[in-house]
Amino acid sequence: MRVGHPRRAAALALTGAVLGPLTEAACVAGGLWIYAETGGLPYVPPWNFPAWASFPPAIWLIVGAVLGPGWMRGSSSRALALALAGVGAEIAIFVSLGMNPPAALAGGSVLAAAVVLAFRERSTLAMMGAGALLGPLVESLPISAGAWSYSAPADLFGMPGYMILAYAIFGALLGHASGAVGLPVGGGLKGTIHPDQET
């Protein structure tokens, strides 16, 4: 299974390696969580970059498996702009409301609805599902090992419950942002290989 042209896969990974750590750095600076050790880097440890690099390809493979061939539309600068604006809004909402879980859930729910309405693609909901699945699944083990901790009460797998919603939103935003970057680099929709097609 793969996501198509090697340059596209690299672009997807690069988008994750940039947006993921930048978003985390903003959240750490805002006091949402803190790492036990950052390896001398500000805010996030070195392993944060390859970890986030794997996120967009994983989202694309999951969405392709769920929706099947032909799920992607052409990329656009509008999609990238919307995704980046959404990331900024998500940081603002969860950093400002993170110590008040009900308010964070309410604000996040409004943003999630706005993301769905902004993109108006069935893949958005699938990306949200992939993010909600991958985020907590990947976080649970390092949290239990003490790699980082949240400022708000951790009531689900060592994290605040609203983080599942946060991961769902970020999964959709990162999925669309990486698609806007990766599709043009890989020659558009031509040559895209889905999980149920031969490599």
pLDDT in tens, 36-91: 999 999 999 999 999 999 999 999 999 988 888 766 665 678 889 999 999 999 99
* Cα 174 from Cα 12, distance rounded (Å): 9
Residue 152 falls within a domain, yes or no? yes
Mean pLDDT of the chain: 87
Residue 1 falls within a domain, yes or no? no
The mean pLDDT value for 89-100 works out to: 97
198 pLDDT above the threshold of 90: no
Q: What pTM was estimated for this model as a whole?
A: 0.88
199 pLDDT above the threshold of 50: no
Residue pLDDT, tens place only, 122-161: 899 999 999 999 999 999 889 989 999 999 988 888 899 9
SS3 3: coil
Q: Report the percentage of the chain scoring pLDDT > 90.
A: 66
* Cα 95 from Cα 60, distance rounded (Å): 27
Residue 196 falls within a domain, yes or no? no
DSSP state of 187: T
Residue 26 falls within a domain, yes or no? yes
Residue 123 falls within a domain, yes or no? yes
Domains in the chain, number: 1
Residue 195 falls within a domain, yes or no? no
95 pLDDT above the threshold of 60: yes
Sign of the CA dihedral 94, 91, 24, 186? positive
Residue 199 falls within a domain, yes or no? no
19 pLDDT above the threshold of 90: yes
User: Which H or E run contains 33?
Assistant: strand 33-35
The mean pLDDT value for 113-129 works out to: 94
pLDDT band at 110 (very low <50, low <70, confident <90, very high): very high
Residue 57 domain boundaries: 6-185
Residue 192 falls within a domain, yes or no? no
